[in-house]
Structure 1
Amino acid sequence: MILWFTVVQVVVAVVAGVLGIVLGLAGRRPSDLSVGGLALLELLLIAQIVIAIIAPLAGNPPTGSLLEYWVYLVSAALIPPAAVVWALLERSRWSTVIMGVGALAVAVMVWRMQVIWTVQVA
């Protein structure tokens, strides 16, 4: 993984998460702003999938478990679309909070992926 790209993903996920929670607790339903944050996060996760495929071929293999890394990455990539689908089906203020919590979960998962890739020894 690339450290600066990981930091960008974590920052975007935290901003989208806090925004979703604040908007939801303020009574706002899902909007372009709250869904757009998760859409941007999903684009970054798709880019991370491409990076994870290319990095070992370019001489940057993970030091931890590759299987564990991919489980985290695939799971993290599934959370934003699932949260958006849920939010668009329910369309209440709590669905906006759910999108925020989903984004915060992705932030934790992305940082864990960075740890698996760079710190652990298999």
Structure 2
Amino acid sequence: MSTPLVVVLTVVAVVLAGVGALSTALHRRIGTAHLATAGVLELLLLVQGGLAVAGMAGGHRPAELSTFLAYLGSVVLLPIAGVLWARSEPTRWAGTVLAVAALTVAVMLWRLVDLWAVTGG
């Protein structure tokens, strides 16, 4: 896990949450800016996931490995689920769906950092 990358991911997630909240406040559906930001977030999450898998292949084992893997898989899938749900939402609340998904990603990332820091050795 790369803590500087987690900071960047957190910033991107908060930006996505802000854009989603803004579109809800303006009674607008999601658009290209939402999808592009979610795409950047997903790409960075895949990079972080790759770094975590490489670290585990290199011998680093979090003490709660199953919990770590569950969080890692979930955090990578969450923006995809948020975008799919938001795209199917015909009202202005689609932005809120994305905002909640993005804020959840930010929280889960910091929980992953905590889990990564505790080794089972």
TM-score of the superposed pair, with normalisation by structure 1: 0.89
Greater alpha carbon shift after TM alignment, 98-107 vs 85-94: 85-94
User: Which amino acid is 1:79 matched to?
Assistant: L
SS of corresponding position for 2:93: helix
Runs (4 or more) in structure 1 with deviation over 6 Å come to none
1:110 aligned onto 2:104: no
CA distance 1:48–1:92, change in 2 (3 Å) = same
- Structure 1 residue 121: Cα displacement: 5.1
- Structure 1 residue 58: Cα displacement: 3.7
SS of corresponding position for 1:93: coil
Q: Please report the RMSD computed on the Cα atoms of aligned residues, expressed in angstroms.
A: 1.5
CA deviation string 1:27-53 (max 9, x = no partner): 110100112111111111111121111
Q: Distance in 2 between matches of 1:114 and 1:105?
A: 14
Greater alpha carbon shift after TM alignment, 100-109 vs 34-43: 34-43
The answer as to whether partners of 2:62 and 2:68 remain within 8 angstroms in 1 is: no
Aligned partner of 1:24 in structure 2 is: 24
Q: Distance in 2 between matches of 1:15 and 1:53?
A: 27
Q: Distance in 2 between matches of 1:42 and 1:19?
A: 16
TM-score of the superposed pair, with normalisation by structure 2: 0.89
The answer as to whether partners of 2:30 and 2:95 remain within 8 angstroms in 1 is: yes
SS of corresponding position for 2:30: coil
The answer as to whether partners of 1:83 and 1:98 remain within 8 angstroms in 2 is: yes
Aligned partner of 1:85 in structure 2 is: 84
Q: How many residues align?
A: 120
